[in-house]
Structure 1
């Protein structure tokens, strides 16, 4: 009986890890482009703009303090919303996993829908839970750096001060990078949710995400 169940899981074992690897490969290539050709990517261009924005704000903070506060507030609110959403979903999934009355199977039983045994459903739930936990962790770390920037950017640009525009820019870059990473991990939950309806749907969603992210990440006039 167990051998028959594992035979139904071969699509889960092949297609879902393959889809994850495709997305990891894309983001590894994106990181390489951000480091080597930053102005060809939206992330690299945004990072370069941040490095110019922080010194300009700190140099004339008395006139631009409202702009600085509003800009950082919007960024912090975005990370807070995503962190809250992730931890709420984690709590819901943890309750579903621990509940003995939860649904252990999906309505499908054909081989194309992958393994539907209780163990495989538990694996899918646990994978989703870990994904949301990593998203929450990334956004929480992002909030730590962004809150530091929110205070330090109001420091006067004194040559003798330990707080320099370069240091504040570095903190802001870390915060935004962690926020972006948290968003991308959160996006990973979409195909993982479709995995409950079969590994083929999850794999197709993984493939669809790559051109969509490419269209967002790269600047056509620079590539």
Structure 2
């Protein structure tokens, strides 16, 4: 019973924070599938499909534009992948060390402060940053393929604008997943200051993401433009 009193805040608030974050993104995925034009992701995906089709139809004049666009996108993805792997290296060094940085920051902070709990926080952070790095690396791989295929003539029965668009969407989907995992790592970083802050951060982050992910306005007009 004494051990439970030390851990009950972590056992309740941290899983609740993750559930709020995960359920929001499950709902977002449902909206992207059923009402894509009401979300930023769906509207951008439709715009990218039109952009790829336009580039491939007028390839001789717009191939430089495509290369420059992908170059800028790859630079952004590389920055996120590099940031994730740097965090992984730092966390691996902390986990394998015996320095006082592994100890709790302040004994007065609410929540558990045992060695197991501290190790759990760092290992969870490491796993999240590893997954973020993997998603951004795969995104770079797919966009690298698109960089070559978009300059192919559309007369081919295999290399069509639809096929190139699907590869591009896989790249951006992986990039979004990597970014959201990176944001989720913020919750674990704040866990070092106590589980209450994790819950408050989750309750704050979801409304912010909601305003960034959804388009507010005339949905019927956007549906007409999309089709």
Give the TM bin, normalised by the shorter chain. over 0.9
1:131 is aligned to 128
Alignment deviations for residues 78-112 of structure 1 (CA, whole Å, 9 cap, x no partner): 111101110110011011001122423223224x6
Alignment deviations for residues 157-212 of structure 1 (CA, whole Å, 9 cap, x no partner): 11x44211100000000000000110010001112111000000011001111000
Distance between the aligned counterparts of 1:26 and 1:193, measured in 2?
Answer: 20
Aligned CA distance change for structure 1 residues 11 and 176 (closer, same or farther; 3 Å): same
Alignment deviations for residues 7-63 of structure 1 (CA, whole Å, 9 cap, x no partner): 211111111111001111000000010011000000000001111111100111110
Say how many residue pairs are matched: 219
Structure 1 unmatched runs, 5+: none
Instruction: Answer yes or no: is the 8 Å Cα contact 1:6–1:115 preserved in 2.
Output: no
When normalised by structure 2's length, the TM-score is 0.93
2:222 is aligned to none
Structure 2 unmatched runs, 5+: 220-227
Q: Which moved more, 1:67-76 or 1:146-155?
A: 67-76
> Shift of residue 4 of structure 1?
3.5
Instruction: Answer yes or no: is the 8 Å Cα contact 2:45–2:169 preserved in 1.
Output: yes
Superposition pairs for residues 111-190 of structure 1, below 5 Å? Answer: 113-158=110-155, 160-190=156-186
> Shift of residue 6 of structure 1?
4.1
When normalised by structure 1's length, the TM-score is 0.94
Instruction: Answer yes or no: is the 8 Å Cα contact 2:10–2:195 preserved in 1.
Output: yes
Aligned CA RMSD, in angstroms, stands at: 1.3
